[in-house]
């Protein structure tokens, strides 16, 4: 993480993720007293001090979703269905959800000991990171991308074989929920999460694409049932995920994104300028992207040149003649065609030109 001292000597740390901040807000405002279940989302910049790889940046943006107060496995499946729907709507194809269970503190403890014993037998051949993980957090060794480490840990014990009865029932219910929602998934026993507060359900949304290389995860998350209590709140079950905006942007074809046309209002004269101001307000309130020529006394030729440089889709011309007739002249900047539209019904007529 980025940790440094400011000019007054106060130690500052830039947030690496959003979940902990949401949990602190949940506790601080006693939200559990106001409703049993909260469904929250956030978006904004995060920061991690690690060497950048393809699709990974030291300052990056996330959209996060958190559900606090629901312990059932169906809510885990429901959020993955919602995430699948989001990816579909932005044209991101080939997303597969890799899922696993990390168990609870009770069953994970015994699995951790068995995994550590396994890793110690091959420790001398592991990479430096995995040798450190063997002592501090053995589960992270399963997630190593080093080919030799993956080969050495291919026969490592699987956590599913060590889940307690409650954790196994929760994971089975989660998988059945995914099938009920029609979400494509595969169980990956090597998949773990980098933060220690995760319990039970864990997942990553991965895309096989050369644009991302080995950093092919576009969203990830899981259940963190003990975090609220750990930070001083009531015992609260929670599930959430975060989407990596930059990684999704690398994969989504710009042509698939909805592109709103830009309209440019050009008044030719003093009276038309007054009329155009009202039209601009009406168009913007209707959600139509609108610019207005603000230079007084400008010629149509000059205004059209500016519109072309701005990449305007349509120009709306209002001169003295148009003002008298109660119309505007709509010009398509791509093919040069023109059409006259009634001022009284302008907003509704322009909506026909929206995607």
132 or 212: which leads in pLDDT? 132
Cα separation, 45 vs 60, in Å, equals 5
Per-residue confidence (pLDDT) for residue 155, from 0 to 100: 83
222: left (phi over 0), alpha (psi -120 to 50) or beta: left
Residue-wise pLDDT tens digits, 151-187: 888 888 888 888 999 999 999 999 999 999 999 999 9
Q: Are 104 and 166 in contact (CB under 8 A)?
A: yes
Mean pLDDT of 2-26: 94
Sheet strand arrangement including 185-187 = 38-47, 59-68, 238-244, 217-223, 199-207, 95-101, 185-187
Per-residue confidence (pLDDT) for residue 210, from 0 to 100: 61
Closest among 265, 278, 229, 207 to 68, alpha carbons compared? 229
**In this predicted structure, which of 195-199, 231-235, 269-273 has the lowest mean pLDDT?**
195-199
Q: Indicate if the pLDDT at residue 54 is higher than 70.
A: no
Average pLDDT, the chain: 88
- Please, which residues bridge with residue 342 across strands? 327
**In this predicted structure, which of 117-121, 197-201, 252-256 has the lowest mean pLDDT?**
252-256
Alpha carbon 104 to its chain centroid, in Å, reads 27
Per-residue confidence (pLDDT) for residue 128, from 0 to 100: 84
Per-residue confidence (pLDDT) for residue 215, from 0 to 100: 66
Residue-wise pLDDT tens digits, 94-104: 899 999 998 98
Cα separation, 319 vs 280, in Å, equals 15
When pLDDT is cut at 50, 70 and 90, the band that residue 354 belongs to is confident
Q: Indicate if the pLDDT at residue 296 is higher than 80.
A: no
| Structure tokens given for 2 | 């980025």
Q: Indicate if the pLDDT at residue 55 is higher than 60.
A: no
Per-residue confidence (pLDDT) for residue 317, from 0 to 100: 94
Cα separation, 16 vs 4, in Å, equals 14
Q: Residue 94 class from Cβ within 10 Å (0-12 exposed, 13-18 middle, 19+ buried)?
A: exposed
How many Å is the maximal CA-CA distance in the chain? Answer: 90
Listing DSSP states for 178-233 in one string gives: HHHHT--EEE-TT---SSTT-EEEEEEEEE--TTTTT--EEEEEEE-TTHHHHTTS
Using DSSP bridges, classify how beta strands 59-68 and 38-47 pair: parallel, antiparallel or unpaired. Answer: antiparallel
Q: Indicate if the pLDDT at residue 192 is higher than 90.
A: no
- What structural domains and CATH numbers belong to the chain? 3-104+164-256 (3.30.930.10), 263-349 (3.40.50.800)
Task: Give the three-state DSSP class for 269.
Answer: coil
| Structure tokens given for 52 | 């950048």
Residue-wise pLDDT tens digits, 59-79: 999 999 999 999 999 999 999
Mean pLDDT of 318-333: 92
Per-residue confidence (pLDDT) for residue 108, from 0 to 100: 82
Could you tell me the end-to-end alpha-carbon distance of the chain, in angstroms, rounded to an integer?
A: 43
User: Who contacts 78 (Cβ-Cβ below 8 Å, separation ≥6)?
Assistant: 177, 181
């Amino acid at each position: 993480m980025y940790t440094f001292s400011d000019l007054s000597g106060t130690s500052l740390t830039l947030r690496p993720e959003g979940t902990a901040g949401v949990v602190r807000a949940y506790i601080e405002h006693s939200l559990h007293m106001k409703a049993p279940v909260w469904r929250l989302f956030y978006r904004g910049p995060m920061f991690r001090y690690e060497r950048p790889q393809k699709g990974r940046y030291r300052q990056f943006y996330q959209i996060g979703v958190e559900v606090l107060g629901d312990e059932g496995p169906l809510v885990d499946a429901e959020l993955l269905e919602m995430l699948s729907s989001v990816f579909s709507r932005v044209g991101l194809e080939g997303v597969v959800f890799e899922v696993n269970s990390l168990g609870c503190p009770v069953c994970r403890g015994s699995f951790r000991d068995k995994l550590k014993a396994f890793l110690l037998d091959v420790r001398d051949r592991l990479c430096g990171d995995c040798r450190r993980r063997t002592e501090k957090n053995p589960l992270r060794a399963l997630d190593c991308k080093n080919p030799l480490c993956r080969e050495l840990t291919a026969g490592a014990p699987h956590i599913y074989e060590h889940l307690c009865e409650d954790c196994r029932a929760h994971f089975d219910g989660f998988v059945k929920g995914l099938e009920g929602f029609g979400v494509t998934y595969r169980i990956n026993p090597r998949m773990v999460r980098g933060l220690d507060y995760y319990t039970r359900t864990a997942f990553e949304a991965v895309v096989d694409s050369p644009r991302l290389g080995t950093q092919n995860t576009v969203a990830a998350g899981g259940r963190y049932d003990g975090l609220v209590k750990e930070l001083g709140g009531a015992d609260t079950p929670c599930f959430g995920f975060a989407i990596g905006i930059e990684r999704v942007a690398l994969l989504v074809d710009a042509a698939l994104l909805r592109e709103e046309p830009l309209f440019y209002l050009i008044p030719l004269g003093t009276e038309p300028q007054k009329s155009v101001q009202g039209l601009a307000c009406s168009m913007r309130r209707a959600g139509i992207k609108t610019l207005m020529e603000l230079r007084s006394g400008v010629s149509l030729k000059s205004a059209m040149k500016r519109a072309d440089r701005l990449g305007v889709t349509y120009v709306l011309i209002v001169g003295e003649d148009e003002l008298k007739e109660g119309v505007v002249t709509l010009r398509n900047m791509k093919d040069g065609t023109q059409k006259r539209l009634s001022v009284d019904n302008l907003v509704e007529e322009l909506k026909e030109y929206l995607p």
